[in-house]
Amino acid sequence: MLQHLDPPVMPIDDAKECAGPEISALLEALADCCHPRASRLLQQLCANPDMCGPELEQVQRDARHVLCLSFGTMEASRRLSAMALQ
């Protein structure tokens, strides 16, 4: 039987320490979100804590969308504005 093993991903706390402020803010905003896409975004951010440019912009848009779906527009805006991602 074949097994699919995911590559090791940096833990969130370690990623926050070595990431820039935007990545750290996204990690914090998504930390308690239970949406399946949120966990994939967290893995993506932890795997690449020095992400920048168009890739980071896409992750920011995806994070906003997931937060809106999970918590509503007002809470998503609050979480992101508190972290200067608006």
pLDDT attached to residue 3: 63
Closest by CA to 19, choosing from 41, 51, 65, 67, is 51
Residue range 24-51: average pLDDT?
86
Do 49 and 37 form a contact (C-beta atoms < 8 A)? no
Q: For the residues 9-31, what does the mean pLDDT come to? A: 73
Kindly tell me if the per-residue pLDDT of 58 is higher than 90: yes
Confirm if 48 and 86 have CB atoms less than 8 A apart: no
Query: In this model, does residue 85 exceed pLDDT 50?
Result: no
The 8-class DSSP code of residue 49 comes to T
> Residue 8: which pLDDT band, with cuts at 50, 70 and 90?
very low
- Domain range list for the chain: 20-82
The pLDDT value given to residue 37: 92
Answer for the pair 58, 37: CB distance below 8 angstroms, yes or no.
no
The whole-number pLDDT of residue 86 equals: 41
> In this structure, what DSSP letter does residue 19 have?
S
